[in-house]
Structure 1
Amino acid sequence: MNNYNSIARLVGVLYIIGTVAGILSVVFTGPIAGSTNVLMEVSANVNQVKLGTLFILIMGISLALVAVIVYPIVKKVNEALALGYVIFRGALETVVYIISAIWLLLVVVSKEYVHTVSSDSSSFQSISHLLSNSGEQIHSFTMIIFSIGALMFYYLLYRSKLIPQWLSGWGFIASIIYLVTGVFALFGTVSAFVLLPLALQEMFMAVWLIIKGFNPSKVNI
């Protein structure tokens, strides 16, 4: 029992670490990635970009660890879905985060490029535009992959009753909203407010797991 409580607390802590790191990555890199002159902005804020990259990696690793840690428990409900959750959240999503980090690291290299190309040149503008658009598309695909993994996870939690079903149901519905938002984001901008239900649910669930742990009557499923 103590082992399951420890796992629950660890999952809760990892969710909080991942969320905080994700927010900080946006704080540090959001204004730069959204700039019309990405290369010029990066050349002036190299350390800021490096910190943002570090937080992206922390977020990816934290969320990937959740999938690995809970797999032995949720596989008792449905092994195929549990494995799918590990693939989407532990593998695919992590790869996308790494790609995002590589993109930011490559942008750092552009500092030297900016020294040799004037900011009003067509080549500079083209590269800036390309980097901005690629960052947006990567973010959209991350949302889709994240949502698919989250749907599997919350379905498994709902079936297992390891946490209250209203809480896992909240996560399932919020994940659907997140998935739809990610699809629409591929074709245009979306309001960040539609992402709030899942963010609130994850933080509430994280605190619940840290304080309450898993349902003791369901840990052996």
Structure 2
Amino acid sequence: MNPTKPTTRTIGILFLIIFVSGILVYQVLRGPFLFGDDILANAALNSDKVTISTLVSFLAGILTILISVLLLPIFKKFSSKLGYIYVAFCLLNFIAIAIESYSAISLLDFSTEFSKSDNKTTLESLSGVFYNNHRSAHFMYLLTSCLPVFVLYYSLFVGKLVPKTISIFGMVAVLLMFISVVLSIFNIKGSSDLMIPIAIIQLFLPFWLIFKGFKTPKEINLSKV
């Protein structure tokens, strides 16, 4: 029996929770109200959802750090440097989550004050500042999130822990995601299509880890023959 199987199954479940949390935050709880039309009104009317999205984001960030800690002893078997870099980037990713969440709450607070104010003209002139701050924080988080994910797939490739097809597809998907985010920053249309590969692999990998797990040392040695 593969001694790392229980660990990889746990990691797979955690990755799946993180994937679902991302959908909840950006497609259900926060995205529609802080990136859609009439942001000030929608954010105030859905303040509970935006607040919950912040808690979900922090949970996802904590789980990411937990995963990096669980993977550290596995990665150290072939590269301590990659193991610690992955932990460091996951911590950096958590900081980016905190900054984005703070900007989201700031925008929410502003929208709440806007909805209560009688002098909306003055406040409306400031809305662009809060929106742009949140937009910048969001894209900074997306760019930062590329770092640990790329190191993850690169480590899986170097350690031969999963089939090369998975790790290579993952690295390419991260690069496409990075390009997509950069294009989105400059409002270039069609960039969202480049996010499809990362969505596919980030959903596929958890199930692979849950049901297949990492290759055993024996399987890795056989693949070298």
How far the C-alpha of 1:189 sits from its partner, in A, is: 4.7
- 1:162, 1:218 within 8 Å by CA — same for their partners in 2? no
Task: Write out aligned runs for 1:107-146 (5 A).
Answer: 107-110=107-110, 111-119=112-120, 121=121, 123-146=122-145
Aligned position for 1:39:
40
How far the C-alpha of 1:82 sits from its partner, in A, is: 2.1
Residues 184-193 or 53-62, more deviating: 184-193
Q: Please state whether the residue corresponding to 2:214 is helix, strand or coil.
A: coil
Residues 95-104 or 7-16, more deviating: 95-104
How far the C-alpha of 1:77 sits from its partner, in A, is: 2.3
Aligned position for 1:70:
71
Aligned position for 1:157:
156
Structure-2 change in CA distance of 1:219 and 1:116 (3 Å): farther
Q: Please state whether the residue corresponding to 1:81 is helix, strand or coil.
A: helix
How far the C-alpha of 1:35 sits from its partner, in A, is: 4.1
Structure-2 change in CA distance of 1:218 and 1:134 (3 Å): farther
How far the C-alpha of 1:160 sits from its partner, in A, is: 0.9
Aligned position for 2:105:
105
How far the C-alpha of 1:205 sits from its partner, in A, is: 1.0
Letter in 2 for 1:20: V
How far the C-alpha of 1:92 sits from its partner, in A, is: 0.8
Cα distance in 2 for residues equivalent to 1:3 and 1:135? 44
Cα distance in 1 for residues equivalent to 2:104 and 2:180? 24
How far the C-alpha of 1:124 sits from its partner, in A, is: 1.9
Cα distance in 1 for residues equivalent to 2:129 and 2:80? 41
Aligned position for 1:180:
179
Q: Please state whether the residue corresponding to 1:76 is helix, strand or coil.
A: coil
1:100-141 deviations in whole A, cap 9, x for unaligned? 22222333433245312433x1x3223321222222222221
Cα distance in 2 for residues equivalent to 1:138 and 1:3? 41
Cα distance in 1 for residues equivalent to 2:36 and 2:204? 34
Aligned position for 1:48:
49
Taking structure 1 as the reference length, the TM-score comes to: 0.88
Aligned position for 1:197:
197
CA RMSD of aligned residues (A): 2.3
Establish whether residue 10 from structure 1 lines up as the match of residue 19 from structure 2: no
1:148-188 deviations in whole A, cap 9, x for unaligned? 22221111101111111111111011111112222333322
Structure-2 change in CA distance of 1:153 and 1:164 (3 Å): same
Q: Please state whether the residue corresponding to 2:24 is helix, strand or coil.
A: helix
1:175-217 deviations in whole A, cap 9, x for unaligned? 1111222233332255322111011111111101000111122
Residues 64-73 or 16-25, more deviating: 64-73
Aligned position for 1:81:
82
Cα distance in 2 for residues equivalent to 1:30 and 1:45? 11
How far the C-alpha of 1:2 sits from its partner, in A, is: 5.6
Letter in 2 for 1:82: G
1:26-56 deviations in whole A, cap 9, x for unaligned? 1211121124643332222211211222222
Letter in 2 for 1:196: I
